[in-house]
Structure 1
Amino acid sequence: MKHEFWHDKWQSNNIGFHLSNPNPLLIKHIHSLNLQPQARIFIPLCGKSLDIHWLLQQEFHVTGIDLSPIAIEELISELKLEFTVSQVGDLTHYHHQNIDLYVGDFFELTSSNIGKIDAIYDRAALVALPEEMRTDYAQHLMQISNKATQLLISFEYDQGVMAGPPFSVPEQEIRKYYASRYEIKQLASEYEKLKGKVDAKENVWLLEKISTSH
């Protein structure tokens, strides 16, 4: 999936994936991450999600990245916070004491850019990527976050009815990407009409790093 696809979505304001409220599944299951106040949460492909506002209100530190400068600029405008701006390689970095936002290619982001991460919240990244990109995405995510605990939301539906994104990513695929590094636990499964077109299961997963102690 080319960068232009997502740039066009934001330029035309075709952002049906943007929810008008914080995700109720995040609110319901955030406790599963066992986070302390000021814990650092990384949101890949974050858009201008209202989940970010909610996480900041819970006194977490948020780090996010999105390809679209429009998404990040609108998020910053809505947050009404003062940011400093710098260039880090090909990425633009917006910094506030409680939030770090990057504009650019996720694969350009490094562990030194984002620092220590306590948890990952993936609502719209894995499901936004076509199958041929997901293995590389998962590998890079684990590398830069030191395999931080994940709260992952996925969809399961008949892609013959709707092509995606968001794509259908069934359990066996999630296990293919992550089972060698994470204990994978399903927290919830809810049925919905995705985009008003297709019956889908929305699944919530907790991924916890497998202990390597012997």
Structure 2
Amino acid sequence: MDRDFWLEKWRINQIGFHEGTPNSLLTAHFAALRLKPGSRVFVPLCGKTRDLSWLRAQGFSVVGIDLSRKAIEQFFDEENISSVIAQCGRLERFDAGTVTLFAGDFFDLDAETLGPVAAIYDRAALIALPPPIRDRYAAHLVALTHAAPQLLVTLEYGQALQSGPPFSVPESDVHALYDTTYRLHEAKRRDVPGGLKGRCPAQEVAWLLAP
């Protein structure tokens, strides 16, 4: 999956991966991270997810990044929020107080530009990446956030039955990526109603990752 693949998805509005309501695994399990009010939460590959607004409504500050500038613009338009735009190296920063979104490549984001975060919420990032990129992604995420605790949502299904994205990320892969940094706890596993894209059985899994 190269950058042109995702930019084209947004250009033609082929965004079936976008959920129109906050993810129920987020709303059920995010409190387990036990963050203080006002804590800053990082959402990688955020798109225009409604999860950002849900996190803000719980009293958190949110910071996200997405390759698509169009996705970032649509988030602020749909939420009726004004932002101040500034260039940050190869990234654009859209700042609106309790929500800051970067447009650009995740791997161009550094810890200084991101700033301190208390937690990570990853529902759409890891499952969007094919296996060859996941090691690099996980290592960069840990370095960016100084191994902040994380709520991670993955999908599991027979990869041979359906090509990604979203990709299947089995339990063994989650452990291989994060065991050296975090203590992992499987918080919830549930069937995806109707299967993945209606083509094969799938499960959505919520993981809590604690340093």
2:205 aligned partner, one-letter code: N
2:114 aligned partner, one-letter code: I
TM-score w.r.t. length of structure 1: 0.96
Which is further off, 139-148 or 77-86? 77-86
Q: Distance in 1 between matches of 2:81 and 2:124?
A: 24
Q: Distance in 2 between matches of 1:79 and 1:147?
A: 30
Share of identical aligned residues, percent? 44
* Structure 1 segments of 4+ aligned residues over 6 angstroms from their partners: none
Cα RMSD after superposing both structures: 0.7
Q: Distance in 1 between matches of 2:147 and 2:197?
A: 32
- Counting only pairs closer than 5 Å after superposition, residues 146-157 of structure 1 correspond to structure 2 as 146-157=146-157
Q: Distance in 2 between matches of 1:77 and 1:134?
A: 31
Structure 2 unmatched runs, 5+: none
Do structure 1's residue 137 and structure 2's residue 142 form an aligned pair?
no
Residue of structure 2 in register with 1:76 after alignment: 76
Residue of structure 1 in register with 2:179 after alignment: 179
How much does 1:91 deviate? 0.1
Q: Distance in 2 between matches of 1:182 and 1:35?
A: 17
How much does 1:72 deviate? 0.4
TM-score w.r.t. length of structure 2: 0.98
How much does 1:97 deviate? 1.2
Residue of structure 1 in register with 2:39 after alignment: 39
Q: Distance in 2 between matches of 1:170 and 1:130?
A: 13
Q: Distance in 1 between matches of 2:73 and 2:142?
A: 27
How much does 1:190 deviate? 0.1
SS at match of 2:144: helix
Residue of structure 1 in register with 2:29 after alignment: 29
1:207 aligned partner, one-letter code: L
Aligned residues: 209
How much does 1:112 deviate? 0.7
Do structure 1's residue 119 and structure 2's residue 111 form an aligned pair?
no
- Counting only pairs closer than 5 Å after superposition, residues 1-214 of structure 1 correspond to structure 2 as 1-192=1-192, 193-209=195-211
Structure 1 unmatched runs, 5+: 210-214
How much does 1:197 deviate? 1.4
SS at match of 1:190: strand
